[in-house]
Amino acid sequence: MRAGEPKTNLGEFFVFGFEGKTLDRETRHLFSTFRPGGVILFKRNLQDPEQVLRLTREIQATNPASPPLVTIDQEGGRVWRLPPPFTRFPETELLGRAGLESLAYAAARVMGLELAAAGVHCNLAPVLDLNTNPANPVIGDRALGADPRESARLAAAMLRGFRDHGIAGCGKHFPGHGDTHADSHHTLPVVGQDRETLWAREIAPYRILIQGTPHLLEMIMTAHLLVPALDPESPATLSRPILEGLLRRQLAFPGVIITDDLEMKAVSERFSLSEAAPLAFRAGADLLLCCHTPDALPLCVDALERSLQRGHISGRRLLRSRARIRDFRTRLFRRFPPPSVRQALFRRIGCPQHQQVALEVLSHRHPSP
């Protein structure tokens, strides 16, 4: 590439967040020029179903030939982005307490229908972390429970529910954020378990899903954790032994690896975005998530280009990630409901039947004696 030429082909490895409920001129120009692979939506972007649909259409229009993936964190409880009248679900822990695959599937199916209706492609859920540490400040009721097999069983039902309306789910946060005493949004947590314990507990839901239902678990999100038993030096997101060695080779995960937000303090206190992005890619991530600073996209793309030029990332490695992402996009867009179907689904957002499913989940907060 010539100096100063926009590196549009490298933008596909990034998923970015932005401010506002519409794309301003600068953001629209940035996205149409550098063409990120996807965007992530937060409450700051969302007002009502009609506005959400207009926004997702506007995002798609920035690159009609290869539309960005639209992603969101729609777990339940405290991690919930869409506004009323979208059906709101309580904390995921209640699905684990109920222990019913049928209910986990039904809840995820409602979420998937309403996401598809609004033009969202990927739900960054379910959480596969285990609720094994009562002092954990960030997981807790976001988890399906403490048992790895039960969590994997219910997560598979949720992934099927999302898939019924074309939505891709995402297991998170690998290799497991459940047994920590710190929140990676604010600092770098350390997981003190030995390798055998990690394999039997934290890693087990991923292993079970990858081996049993690889077609369902299409995407995995990394965790910003230091796990000395696996890598004593680098956080998991930036660790080649954990991502390329454990997840890609030992567990044989064939899908897309996406980082957690590289702007979280567990990473950002040590590395700038333009430093962290190539490090994460070099470690084995395919998609690099940056939730708050779209203006950093040119710097990140430039940093990835420099890493390629210097041989820190091989061209072959880049092509493997590109093939995984494009294969994922092809499958997703092939099954995603067409506009005519989504128009009918749109009328069902927040309908009484959906609200009833949410109430059934909620009933397990205080089960009958």
Residue type, 78: R
CA 194-200-203 angle, 5° bins: 85
**If you ran DSSP here, which 8-state letter would residue 262 be given?**
T
Distances (CA, A) of 26 to 62, 253, 287: 12, 38, 23
pLDDT above 80: residue 221 = yes
Instruction: Report how far residue 205's alpha carbon sits from residue 108's, in angstroms, rounded to the nearest whole number.
Output: 18
- For each of the domains in the chain, give its residue range(s) and CATH number, in order of start: 11-361 (3.20.20.300)
49-101: per-residue pLDDT in tens?
Answer: 999 999 999 999 999 999 999 999 999 999 999 999 999 999 999 999 999 99
DSSP, residue by residue, 73-142: ---BTTB--PPTTSPP---THHHHHHT-HHHHHHHHHHHHHHHHHTT--EE---B------TT-SSSGGG
Match 């044989």 to its residue by tokens: 252
Reported confidence tier of residue 368, pLDDT bands at 50, 70, 90: low
- pLDDT score of 6: 42
25-56: per-residue pLDDT in tens?
Answer: 999 999 999 999 999 999 999 999 999 999 99
Find the catalytic residue in 231, 260, 261, 286: 260
pTM, to two decimals: 0.96
Find the catalytic residue in 48, 164, 183, 185: 185
- pLDDT score of 183: 78
If you average pLDDT over residues 338-357, what whole number do you get? 97
- pLDDT score of 2: 39
| Of 50, 62, 1, the residue nearest 21 (C-alpha) | 50
Instruction: Report how far residue 224's alpha carbon sits from residue 101's, in angstroms, rounded to the nearest whole number.
Output: 30
User: How much is the mean pLDDT over the chain?
Assistant: 94
185 catalytic per annotation: yes
157-215: per-residue pLDDT in tens?
Answer: 999 999 999 999 999 999 999 888 777 888 999 999 999 999 999 999 999 999 998 79
pLDDT above 50: residue 3 = no
